């Protein structure tokens, strides 16, 4: 009976060749590490794909094929626990379950991961996110937990645990997603850093910079300045009450004109501090409340003083 089931599944796998042109796949390294989701969108260095699952599709034929691949992987590969994340109140637990790479019908090699939400008192479990992966190649893949909110309502995680996007040049960080436990849904937040006190998050979401309170949700949003530039690094002030972000004209070096923008909280009123082509700024650190350090494409470091508005090279 099991052999008959596998024969049916393998036969369905052969359908992949017929529809592969409709599947946008981003691969990972050739070290046996699974690749990115089968439904990944085209990735640019400053835009990461929104979460997708193996059932997200617009055509019934594609649904059947993806479901068959998942069924084959979970039949041929035993699940293993990759990581577990208990909530602060110990009422919930998130587990990452991995079915490692297996060859499907001699056509391709796939792996499959699931993010499970488990209610500790009852043991009831729900699949909250999943990732069907191709094995070998280049890309950013894998589910991994980051942290819980202090009130145990939100669980923050990434769907790019390993690797980087294929063809990456310029700024990139693994994207963050947020699982809303009471509402049992998942939301894409974007890419960006935590505040120094670990209570807020600032992310790029399309052309907006969004600030989130980790316990409550979105608290502020500001359109990028200028809107048509390429989004770059975001840095927090030491007290967590302001932000600076960088943008450039192009993704890859030479990146052309660069922009350094300051934002206050909570209003997020943007102020353009620097507009410069020579040098082109691509990185920043903010350790002193009164000044920031900027790095350019040549690896040189510059200091900008907020009070005097002077930009000077660091010896």
At residue 65, the pLDDT reads 86
Output the pLDDT for position 61: 66
DSSP the chain: -HHHHHHHHHHHHTTHHHHGGG-------SSS-EEEETTPPPPBTTBPPPP--TT--S-HHHHHHHHHHHHHHHHHS-EEEEEEEE-TTSSEEEEEEEEEEEEETTTEEEEEEEEEEEETTT--EEEEEEEEEEESSS-EE--EEEEE-TTSSEEEEES--EE--TT--S-----EEEEETTTTEEEEEEB-PBPTTSSEEEEEETTEEEEEETTTEEEEEEE-SSTTSEEEEEEE-TTSSEEEEEEESSSSSS--SEEEEEEETTT--EEEEEEESSSPEEEEEEEETTEEEEEETTS-EEEEETTT--EEE--
Q: So what's the pLDDT on residue 105? A: 80
CATH topology for 192-315 is Methylamine Dehydrogenase; Chain H (2.130.10)
pTM summary value:
0.81
pLDDT of residue 107: 79
Per-residue pLDDT at 136: 82
Q: What is the pLDDT along the chain (315 residues), one digit of tens a residue?
A: 443 444 334 434 433 332 332 222 222 222 233 333 323 222 223 333 333 333 333 456 666 688 999 999 999 999 999 999 999 999 999 999 999 999 988 878 999 999 999 999 999 999 999 999 999 867 999 999 999 999 999 999 999 999 999 888 889 999 999 999 999 999 999 999 999 999 999 999 999 999 999 999 999 999 999 999 999 999 999 999 999 999 999 999 999 999 999 999 988 899 999 999 999 999 999 999 999 999 999 999 999 999 999 999 999
CATH 2.130.10.10 intervals, the chain: 192-315
Confidence (pLDDT) at 20: 30
């Amino acid at each position: 009976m099991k052999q008959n089931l596998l024969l049916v599944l393998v036969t369905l796998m052969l359908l992949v060749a017929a529809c592969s042109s409709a599947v946008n796949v981003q691969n990972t390294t050739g070290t046996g590490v699974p690749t990115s989701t089968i439904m990944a969108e085209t990735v640019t260095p400053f835009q990461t794909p929104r979460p997708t699952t193996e059932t997200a599709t617009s055509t019934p034929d594609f649904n059947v094929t993806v479901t068959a691949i998942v069924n084959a992987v979970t039949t041929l590969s035993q699940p293993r626990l990759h990581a577990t994340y208990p909530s602060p109140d110990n009422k919930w637990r998130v587990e990452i379950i991995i079915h490692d790479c297996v060859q499907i019908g001699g056509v391709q090699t796939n792996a499959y991961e699931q993010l499970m939400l488990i209610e500790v008192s009852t043991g009831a479990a729900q699949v909250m996110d999943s990732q069907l992966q191709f094995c070998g190649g280049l890309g950013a893949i894998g589910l991994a937990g980051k942290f819980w909110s202090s009130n145990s309502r939100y669980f923050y995680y990434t769907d790019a645990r390993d690797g980087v996007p294929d063809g990456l040049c310029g700024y990139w960080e693994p994207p963050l997603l947020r699982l809303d436990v009471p509402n049992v849904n998942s939301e894409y937040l974007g890419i960006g850093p935590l505040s120094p006190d670990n209570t807020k998050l600032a992310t790029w979401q399309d052309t907006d910079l969004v600030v989130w309170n980790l316990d409550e949700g979105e608290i502020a949003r500001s359109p990028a300045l200028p809107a048509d530039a390429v989004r770059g690094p975001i840095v927090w002030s030491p007290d967590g009450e302001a932000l600076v972000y960088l943008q450039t004209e192009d993704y890859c070096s030479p990146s052309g004109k660069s922009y350094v923008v300051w934002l206050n909280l909570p209003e997020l009123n943007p102020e353009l501090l620097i507009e410069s082509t020579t040098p082109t700024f691509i990185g920043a650190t903010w350790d002193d409340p009164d000044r920031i350090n900027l790095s350019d494409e040549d690896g040189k470091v510059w200091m900008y003083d907020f009070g005097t508005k002077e930009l000077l090279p660091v010896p």
